[in-house]
Structure 1
Amino acid sequence: MTSVPERLCAVVLAAGEGRRLRPVTLTTPKPLLPVGGVSLLDRTLARVAGVGLAGPELVAVNACHLAEQIVAAVDGRARLSVEEPPPLGTSGGVAAIKDWIDGRDVLVCNSDAYLDGGVEPYRRLLDGWDRREVRLLGVVAPEEPHLFSGLAFAGASLLPWARVKDLEAVPGELVHTVWRPAERDGELRPVAHDGVFIDCGTPQRLAAADRHAATIEGAKL
């Protein structure tokens, strides 16, 4: 079993508007949509807990669109960072809670990422990490426009504090502020997930994730 590095926390990104899923996301935040009877947010929090990160000292969730529903769903299980509209994006969302991160390294997880394999994808991401390189969970998806060493981003990344400390709490994305700069510096390593990954950002993909979850007996993640 992979041990959790010291000085590590997790940030679950749950602030997005889910525009491609409208009209359902006009009344329900995308992270609270169910897949296999379990919300995407609960799936992500369970996976994070599976690698030893749970509770408001170790896990933070950001919220913006329909934030009050995210706050109610978290129900004390994590630190909450509520952003004023519009959302700050993946980079700004992490930067907004740098005081809470406070020198720790960060496992950043997209709450709309459906993965099979239970907690194993996150364990592989953490295995042998030197706390210096940036790591991305990736899958083979040559049709995706943004690839890292031939792999498409699969919803989770490991960021050293050295790459987090100078981020600004303004709208922005980690692909521009951390991942590509680390790649140029030779300090980015994609870690392959050889199972199923679905970005649940469209009705078709959400339905595909729901079908897949239904085929896995007893699936909880």
Structure 2
Amino acid sequence: MTDVCAVVLAAGEGTRLRPLTLTTPKPLLPVGGVSLLDRTLARLAAVGLSGPADVAVNACYLAAQIVDAVGDRARLSVEEPPALGTSGGVANLRDWIGGRGVLVCNADAYLAEGEASLRKMLDGWDGQTVRLLGVLAPGEPHLFSGHAFAGASLLPWSRVSALPVVPGELVRTVWRPAEAAGELQVVTHDGVFIDCGTPQRLAAADRHAASTKGNRP
């Protein structure tokens, strides 16, 4: 497997979660007593990615709180408003990435048994193909091989190196172009995935975490 680093996307405003996010960034909201950001960093550490040499976190909205929460656990990339989005946020870290593959994780993804899924994404990777973590979602629109995106993607340097540092989304700049070129693979997440983008979904994740206290992040 090629050399890999990780980028945690934590810059968004979380507007659908207001009023919860009026004073607290979405990644710092607790699920089962642990913030979504801490869960993501723990998941990465479990697969061998930790510290500022291997993990970066971007921030924009209420950035000071993200900076304080991360501390020295990761490289910090603070963006001036408006946020650069998923594509621009990764591109802004290009010098730090420095030729490595990038495991990009959304900080608002609740992934039960997520460590196992990240290991599947990394195992046997050729360093050229784009990999997406997905959950089976038959009948839903905008799918990738019958899967809905589940909060993590693995990107080769060849695609990251060309990304412009402007606001944009990976679905348009990397995922769909790779799919059209036959260079996208979907790795199925077999556990529970919840996109914690609304109060209802955040509450569902909290209930699940509380019911499975022994579950890994």
**TM-score scaled by structure 1?**
0.96
2:13–2:21: 8 Å Cα contact kept in structure 1? yes
Runs of 4+ residues over 4 Å off in structure 1: none
2:170 to 170, 174, 183: 174
- Identity score, percent: 75
Change (3 A) 1:144 1:39: farther
Partner of 1:186: 182
Contact 2:112 2:216 in 1 (8 A): no
Q: CA deviation at 1:140?
A: 1.0
Give the secondary-structure state (helix, strand or coil) at the position aligned to 2:6. strand
Q: Secondary structure at the match of 1:147?
A: coil
Residues 40-61 of structure 1: CA deviation (Å, up to 9, x unaligned): 0000000011110000000000
Alignment map for 1:118-197 (pairs within 5 Å):
118-142=114-138, 144-197=140-193
Alignment gaps of 5+ in structure 1:
none
Q: Given that residues 7 and 105 in structure 2 are in contact (C-alpha distance below 8 angstroms), is that contact kept between their aligned partners in structure 1?
A: yes
**2:55 aligned residue:** 59
Q: Does 1:85 align with 2:81?
A: yes
State the alpha-carbon separation in 1 of the partners of residues 187 and 144 from structure 2: 10
User: Per-residue deviation at 1:128?
Assistant: 1.2
Aligned to 2:113: 117
Amino acid at match of 1:153: F
Structure 2 counterpart of 1:214, one-letter code:
A
- The whole-number CA distance in structure 2 between the counterparts of 1:75 and 1:40 is 16
Q: CA RMSD in A?
A: 1.0
Give the secondary structure class of the aligned counterpart of 2:125. coil
AA matched with 1:21: L
Q: Which amino acid aligns with 2:40?
A: T
Indicate the SS of the match to 2:171. Answer: helix
Structure 2 counterpart of 1:104, from 77, 100, 107: 100
Structure 1 residue 210: deviation in Å?
0.2
The residue number in structure 2 matching 1:207 is 203
Query: CA 1:90–1:79 in structure 2 vs 1: closer, same or farther (change >3 Å)?
Result: same
Deviation at 1:39, TM superposition (A): 0.2
- In the TM superposition, residue 218 of structure 1 has moved relative to its aligned partner by 2.6
Q: Does 1:43 align with 2:33?
A: no
Residues 38 and 220 of structure 1 are in contact (CA less than 8 Å); yes or no, is this contact kept in structure 2? no
Amino acid across the alignment from 1:183: E
**Shift, 1:116, TM fit:** 0.6
> 1:117 is matched by which residue type in structure 2?
E
The amino acid across from 1:94 in the alignment is V
User: Which structure 2 segments of 5+ residues have no match?
Assistant: none
Task: State the number of aligned residues.
Answer: 217
Structure 1 residue 198, shift from structure 2 partner: 0.2
Aligned to 1:14: 10
* Alignment partners' CA distance in 2, 1:164 and 1:52: 22
Alpha-carbon distance between aligned partners in 2 of 1:81 and 1:188, rounded to the nearest angstrom: 27
